[in-house]
A = this chain, B = another copy of it.
């Protein structure tokens, strides 16, 4: 139950780094943030994560499903209906990733200002 100091993302061979590589990713972040609103079907998710291509959304969802972060519910209907939702594990990832999204929104003006002065300097 207590924290084993066994895993360290800064160590190249540590398996936790493969996990970090997956979650520290813009598409993963956006999909998880979108799914925070609750169970959703593929088309709605695609509309919510503005600009994501079908291929990338499919790939991202499959990876998240494989890692146990998202559940997939397919209905044998025509036209097909498929819904996705965060698992219990996925919910634990929601708050860190939403924090990242909030950071991006709250600090974008400072970032843009910094970029301008950096670019002007060269």
Contacts and interface: CB of A to CB of B under 8 A. Distances in A.
Interface in A1-57: 3, 7-12, 15-17, 19-21, 23-26, 28-30, 33-34, 48-51
Nearest to A34: B10
Contact of A68 (B96, B103, B106, B111): B111
A58 interface: no
Q: Which of A12, A19, A106, A114 lies at the interface centre, i.e. has the most chain B CB atoms within 10 A of its CB?
A: A19
Contact of A89 (B24, B48, B67, B110): B110
Number of copies: 2
A19 B104 contact: yes
* Contact-size category for A: 35 or more
Contact of A29 (B8, B24, B107, B119): B24
A49 to B, nearest CB: 6
Chain A contact surface mostly: helix
8 contacts: A11-B50, A17-B104, A24-B24, A24-B97, A67-B115, A68-B113, A68-B115, A89-B114
Interface of A: 3, 7-12, 15-17, 19-21, 23-26, 28-30, 33-34, 48-51, 65-69, 89, 92-93, 95-97, 99-101, 103-108, 110-115, 118-119
